[in-house]
Amino acid sequence: MLNSLGCEETRKLRNPNGWRGVCVDGMGTPGEGLGRCSHALIRGVPESLASGEGAGAGLPALDLAKAQREHGVLGGKLRQRLGLQLLELPPEESLPLGPLLGDTAVIQGDTALITRPWSPARRPEVDGVRKALQDLGLRIVEIGDENATLDGTDVLFTGREFFVGLSKWTNHRGAEIVADTFRDFAVSTVPVSGPSHLRGLCGMGGPRTVVAGSSDAAQKAVRAMAVLTDHPYASLTLPDDAAADCLFLRPGLPGVPPFLLHRGGGDLPNSQEALQKLSDVTLVPVSCSELEKAGAGLSSLCLVLSTRPHS
C-alpha cells in the first residue's frame, strides 16, 4: 500500500500499526532502543585509497598517512571512549573504498541486510562484512534482485521507523527490500538530491531528535520525513550538512549517558555551538576531513551492532 504525496519518490512503503517490533527500554518508551550497541566493525585504510584513480573517478588524491591517523583515532574512540568491542577488518588493496563499510549492511536487532551497492566495483566489499556479521551471530539477509541498488548510508533508522533515501546510489527496489526485511517497522522513501546519501544530510541526535544540515537538499529531506512520519520528532538545524552525519550510541554502560559521535570542531567549527544544544548526550568528537575526500561520512566508516538482548 503506497501513500503518494505528490512526488513519485516520497512514499510510505510499510506502516505497521502501533509499536509492534519497536525496540524499547525497560520502561517501554518507544524509540529508546536507538543506538544500542556492544560491537563496532571497521576496515583498515589501504594504500590504494591515496590516489584519485584508485578511489574512483573524480575523487581527489589524499594524504594516506593523515587518513590512516583519522581512522585509527576513530577506532580508538569506539574502543576506549565508548567501551565497544572493536573488530577491524584488514585493508584490501583491491577495495580502495573498503573503509566505507557503512554502505555494505543495514543492521537492526539481530538482522543484517547485506546491501547491493550501486557501483559494481564496490560490490565485493560486502563479502568480508558478511562473514564478520555471520561470525557475530547475526541473521543475514541477501539481496537477490539484480535490479536493486542499496547503499547503507541511504538508510536512516530513528528507533521507531526507517527512512530510505532515493539517491544516485539507492533505487526504489532497494528501498522495497528494506521494507521486506524489517517488516515490523514503518519504512518510507525520501528523495535525495545532489551528490549526498540521506545520512550525509541528516541523522539522529537522540531518540526524539533529528539533526539536519541547512542546505536545500537537507531541508527538503527533513520536510518529506515530517510529512511521512506518524511520530513527533524535534529537529535541530546545523550549518554544515556533514555535521548531521553523526552517530547516537548507547553502549549500555551503567550510569553513563548516551554518546553522540560527531565531526569535531577542527573539521566543522560552525556546527559545534549548535550541537551543544543537544541535552542528555556526551559529545565525542572525531575527524574525518581527509577521508571525506574519498566520499566518506562519519557513519560510513563503521558499523555498530548489539549482540546483547534488548531489555
pLDDT per position as a tens digit, 209-236: 999 999 999 999 999 999 999 999 999 9
Q: What angle do CA 298, 150, 224 make, to 5 degrees?
A: 75
pLDDT band at 18 (very low <50, low <70, confident <90, very high): very low
Dump pLDDT digits (tens) for 30-81: 555 799 999 999 999 999 998 765 555 567 789 999 999 999 999 999 999 9
Residue 2 lies in a domain: no
What does DSSP assign to residue 78? I
Residue 25: the pLDDT is 33
- Counted domains in the chain: 1
Residue 54: the pLDDT is 56
Q: Report which of 231, 223, 226 is spatially closest to residue 193, judged by C-alpha positions.
A: 223
> Mean pLDDT, the chain, as a whole number?
88
Instruction: Check if 71 is active-site.
Output: no
Mean pLDDT of 271-277: 92
Residue 3 lies in a domain: no
pLDDT band at 255 (very low <50, low <70, confident <90, very high): confident
The catalytic position among 197, 202, 262, 288 is 197
Residue 280: the pLDDT is 87
Percent of the chain with pLDDT strictly greater than 90: 77
Sequence letter at residue 114: I
The catalytic position among 37, 202, 246, 302 is 302
pLDDT band at 5 (very low <50, low <70, confident <90, very high): very low
Cell numbers linked to 95: 577495495
Residue 256 lies in a domain: yes
Instruction: Check if 231 is active-site.
Output: no
Residue 5 lies in a domain: no
Residue 286 lies in a domain: yes
DSSP string of 177-197, one letter each residue: HHHHHSTTSEEEEEE--TT--
pTM above threshold 0.75:
yes
For 165, residues 6+ apart whose C-beta sits below 8 A from its C-beta are 154, 155, 156, 189, 190, 191, 192, 197, 198, 199, 201, 221
CATH (domain of 93):
3.75.10.10
Mean pLDDT of 88-103: 96
Residue 99 lies in a domain: yes
Residue 25 lies in a domain: yes
Would the pLDDT of 203 be above 90?
yes
Mean pLDDT of 75-94: 96
Residue 24 lies in a domain: yes
Residue 60: the pLDDT is 78
Would the pLDDT of 19 be above 70?
no
Ranking 4-18, 103-117, 295-309 by mean pLDDT, the lowest is 4-18
Q: What angle do CA 98, 78, 280 make, to 5 degrees?
A: 125
Which residue range(s) make up the domain with 31? 11-305
**Rounded-to-integer distance, Cα 217 and Cα 221, Å:** 6
